[in-house]
Amino acid sequence: MSNEAVSKPVVLIAEELSPATVDALGPDFDVRNVDGADRAALLAALPTASAVLVRSATKMDAEAIAAAPLLKVIARAGVGLDNVDIKAATTAGVMVVNAPTSNIISAAELTVGHILSLARHIPAAHGALAEGQWKRSKYTGIELYEKTVGIIGLGRIGALITARLQAFGVNVIAYDPYITSARAQQLGVTPVSLDELLEQSDFITIHMPKTPETTGMIGAEQLAKMKPTAFVVNVARGGLIDEDALHDALVARTIGGAGLDVFVSEPPTGSPLLGLDNIIVTPHLGASTDEAQEKAGVSVAKSVRLALSGELVPDAVNVAGGVIDPYVRPGIPLVEKLGQVFSGLASHSPLTSVDVEVHGELAAYDVSVYRLAALKGIFTNVVSETVSYVNAPLLAEQRGIAVRQITDADSPEYRNVITLRGALADGSQVSVSGTLTGSKQVEKIVEINGYEVEVPFAKNLIVMLYTDRPGIVAVYGSVFGEAEINIAGMQIARHVAGGKALSVLTVDSPVPAGLLASVRDAIAADLMVEIDLTE
């Protein structure tokens, strides 16, 4: 194996994924395969892995995550994350990503398939004819035309189902506590309460996430409100419908029938539902199309590339944020650097709170990513853990640091300014502001602790505060010169002559702590810190 191959980050593919997934990763990684269902083999392969790609069979629990000290991202080529310990991953600073939109078309089409199969008895009719029975009258069905379909949960899949079913001439009603009237009207859907939906629908399909609140949301009480001819379909998550209550309703024929693709326990071995003649069941096929599998693999491969390059990933499930606007994105590295400068300025006392202020045109955008970037920068050089966008908020919470984000469209001096402002345990405050200037979007510091400056970022910065008086620059210039510390740039700011002056130096190499202390003593500085930025 070449040295080049050894130096590449290891991406571990733990289950069978499409060739397009590997192609989407590109040539920058050492791609290895392991059988994720073989626990011993998985644990043996994890210590060198920077990323792991899984489907549903590989258990990435706390033990597996602990076995992977280099791990930065776990990618699930699909939607469900029952096999990933998200809390353990977050604590370890490991990003967890999935492919939330990869199967939405497949799931919507399967739902329509279940509805049509229930309306026309397609599986039962096929089974009878395959056994030589010609029973046309037994399998007389109903048309969808002018029937009412109730959709519980009008998200992306619900909207796709709506569009497809409207071609059949159905009336679509929906229950979704978070949908606006304008959005419902746009989709051609009538919003109703859950009780109204249950009472009016000829077909009901549920598309809700599984939470403690939604588990069993269709139980005996809800089934009793349905028409005796109505059908209920669940291709979302097992347990949204109470299976015992559903069994009772089907046996008693108080509803027309049901279609299930998902179950509380999978496979549903021994479930009494499987023996009924008024239910259609499929083995969790919602995402089981060639197209969905390929889209899922390619999606998470792209997310892995972003994660391993240190970028934010829109599909990360344990990182706040979402799609990042192109106008917002250039500010992310700026805010990270501001965070590092901020932590250097605040190093003399524990931090109790930090405000991330965004001033200017950026205030009109979703800039929640800047909060993550600021925290990542603040903790990068002050904690022993590897700091990422994932665990930075957790590090702040563990230390009792209150974090706020403030936006303000007013920015008199620059088009946009981002300010980090914090309170320290000793009662003092620190602040640092930055902006991007010019057509090349040069990152600059424009304020430190209330003093206006304009300093480009450099790897090594020295910030000092002292009483303004003649000869100070000559003193520290001479000390640094004798130590062969080259000053690449310098700016001095003050409020009034003879008051306090803030000096910011950029130097070409780190300054030994002892030398810095001697300069501080020589000029009687109130503040003297060196800040070495980490890329």
Residues tagged active-site: 237, 266, 284
Mutual angle of helices 104-120 and 122-130, in 10-degree steps: 60
| Residues ≥6 apart with Cβ < 8 Å to 91 | 391, 394
**Distance from the Cα of residue 368 to its chain's centroid:** 12
**Residue 54 Cα to chain centre, angstroms:** 17
Query: Letter for the amino acid at 188?
Result: G
* Residue 27 in tokens: 């040539």
502 Cβ contact list (under 8 Å, min separation 6): 448, 449, 451, 453, 463, 464, 465, 492, 493, 494
Return all residues near 369 (Cβ < 8 A) that are at least 6 apart.
312, 321, 324, 328, 332
- What distances in angstroms separate CA 44 from CA 47, 68, 94, one per listed residue? 7, 10, 19
Of 210, 218, 262, give the one whose Cα is nearest residue 241.
218
Q: How far apart are CA 390 and CA 403, in angstroms?
A: 15
| Residues, the chain | 535
DSSP secondary structure letter of residue 387: P
Neighbouring-strand partners of residue 492: 503
CA distances to 67, 75, 300, 535 from 51, in Å:
13, 7, 11, 21
Q: Which residues pair with 432 in a beta bridge?
A: 420, 448
Give the N- to C-terminal CA distance of the chain in Å, as an integer.
29
CB atoms within 10 A of CB 229: 12
Residue carrying the six token digits 């060196």: 530
Q: HEC states along 280-341?
A: EECCCCCCCCHHHHHHHHHHHHHHHHHHHCCCCCCCECCCCCCCCCCCCCCHHHHHHHHHHH
The verdict on whether omega for the bond into residue 267 sits within 30 degrees of 0, i.e. cis, is yes
> Distance of CA 357 to CAs 136, 433, 522, Å?
71, 9, 36
DSSP 269: T
Q: Say which residues have a Cβ less than 8 Å from residue 244's Cβ, sequence separation at least 6.
A: none
CA dihedral (200, 205, 210, 212) in degrees, to 10, reads 20
Sheet holding 30-33, edge to edge: 30-33, 10-13, 49-54, 73-76, 95-97
